[in-house]
Amino acid sequence: MIVSIIIITLNEAENIELTIKKARLAAYFPSGKAAPIEIIVSDGRSTDGTLEIAQKLADKVIIGPRGRYQQLNAGAMHAKGDILLFLHADTILPEGAIIRVLYRLRDSNVIGGGFKKDWNWNPIVKRSSFLKFANFWWQGIGNWLVRLLRTFPGDNAIFIRKSVFEKIKGFRSLWICEDFDFSRRLRKYGKKRFIYIHSTVLTSTRRYEKNGFLYINVIWFWIYWLWRLGMSQERLKVKFKKYLIFPERGNRKFLRF
């Protein structure tokens, strides 16, 4: 089976090289042999040099309309793999991640899943003891809920059989929460068929660095629950108009609460 790793980008020159290189390393067996993969970068018209880097390192680069669901679907449309793995440009796959996916998908009843997630803190960002404890608690609760509910955020590296992806017609045209919607639609197949892999992906903390720990967690909480309670995408977009679905890099040296 071929795994197509689809990385969505918008002005990710600072991250994309490492993300692609780690994705390739994630396909290697301990013996040194690599599982068959292709890396597709689906870009939303970057202007910072992302495309030049991606064209050197990826197998395919697709340029199209900006928007997470559009870029995810565009990448899947051009994928030749039997398995699709969707990756944010600031999320790092661990060693052996692709091997674990292939191993779990040997069971024909398993249709896909996602990974455990930890935060990849910039070493120059200092945090108080209280913030470190708060982050440890928040990270633990988040992973527990994901494992329990099998509802994965996009930065948990969601993977799915391409045949199933096509059957449910991919990601819906949502400004935000397209990842939660996607996971919830897959739950009709049964929680045991949409699995949680304990191996850990590392995702950027730049939202925290730019906006603060409490602010970002409160925003995430309200967006999710307002969406679950039925608020339309148009109203969400107006209410949270300052929220960027593609985050900007933070520049803090000391993280505020």
- pLDDT at site 125: 81
Give me the helix-helix angle, 178-186 and 68-77, nearest 10°: 50
- pLDDT at site 13: 95
- pLDDT at site 248: 84
Structure tokens at 81: 């793999």
Q: Can you give the pTM of this predicted structure?
A: 0.94
- pLDDT at site 257: 72
109 Cβ neighbours under 8 A, 6+ residues apart: 192, 193
Q: The domain 3-120+152-204 is classified under which CATH number: 3.30.70.2860, 3.90.550.10, 1.10.10.10, 3.30.70.141?
A: 3.90.550.10
Least Cα distance to 68 among 82, 89, 50 occurs for: 89
Per-residue tens of pLDDT for the chain, all 257 residues = 899 999 999 999 999 999 999 999 999 999 999 999 999 999 999 999 999 999 999 999 999 999 999 999 999 999 999 999 999 999 999 999 999 999 999 999 999 999 999 999 888 888 888 888 888 999 999 999 999 888 999 999 999 999 999 999 999 999 999 999 999 998 777 667 999 999 999 999 999 988 889 999 999 999 999 999 999 999 999 999 989 999 888 777 677 77
From the number of C-beta atoms within 10 Å of its C-beta (0-12, 13-18, 19+), residue 63 rates as: middle
**Domain ranges in the chain?**
3-120+152-204
From the number of C-beta atoms within 10 Å of its C-beta (0-12, 13-18, 19+), residue 121 rates as: middle
